Amino acid sequence: MQMRTRSGGHDYEGLSYLSYEDTTPFFILDMFNLRSVDVNIEQGMAWVESGATLGELYYKVSEKSNIHGVPASVCSTVGVGGHFSGGGYGTLIRKYGLIVDQIEDAKLIDVNGELLDRSSMGEDLFWAITGGGGASFGVVLSFLFKLVHVPPKVTYFSLEKTSEEEIINVADKWFQIADKLDPDLFIRMGFNVINNTEGNKTISATFPSLFLGNTTSLVSQ
């Protein structure tokens, strides 16, 4: 039987818990009991176990400090195990890159049942489980990563456009400025299918955004 490791269960393809056409029998190794978060503000680092959700991780960091953040997903129910091993992007990406850019160490059980850390697994395997997805290489128990600096107050704003003309206008402007904006300013463009007032399907474009500063400095950008 195959063993499929499940942390937050948010894999888009459901590889941790679904079978689809693949009829190979499998059992699930669920990491939900391994969810501790150990934040060391003096060192600016944290160990997090794979079964923790990102929401739990963010909450635990915020309990210790209001000037430290985690550059990872906007979705609080995504699990650390799949997200950290697969790359992990979020609203801090322009300033701090992916969560894998901050990972310093990991604990992994390999196919022989050996418990390995970065030095004993070697740099090739460490490289693979910090971006290549964890599932092919073993079971990741936990990650050590660097916290990043955030101001105590940030500005969040969002814009939604539903008319085709407005979407094209705003998207055109966004394409011209997105790569030139200050790294403190993140503006994401996303599309959704919605029903219009006549009940017909139409498209909406949203621009959820985050600025690492207050509104006065945002307006001066």
The site for ligand FAD (CB under 6 A) is made up of 4-12, 15-16, 31, 50, 73-75, 78-79, 81-83, 85-90, 133-135, 139-140
In angstroms, what is the minimal distance from the CB of 120 to ligand FAD?
A: 17
In angstroms, what is the minimal distance from the CB of 208 to ligand FAD?
A: 11
Q: Which is nearer to ligand FAD, 142 or 155 (CB)?
A: 142
In angstroms, what is the minimal distance from the CB of 145 to ligand FAD?
A: 15
Alpha-carbon distance 85 to 170, whole Å? 35
Residue 160, H or E segment:
strand 160-161
Q: Which is nearer to ligand FAD, 9 or 69 (CB)?
A: 9
Contact yes or no for 145/80 (Cβ under 8 A): no
In angstroms, what is the minimal distance from the CB of 204 to ligand FAD?
A: 18
Q: Which is nearer to ligand FAD, 10 or 68 (CB)?
A: 10
**Four-residue CA torsion sign, 128, 83, 22, 4:** positive
**Four-residue CA torsion sign, 163, 166, 168, 174:** negative
152: number of Cβ within 10 Å: 8
Q: Which is nearer to ligand FAD, 87 or 213 (CB)?
A: 87
Structure tokens given for 114: 């050996």
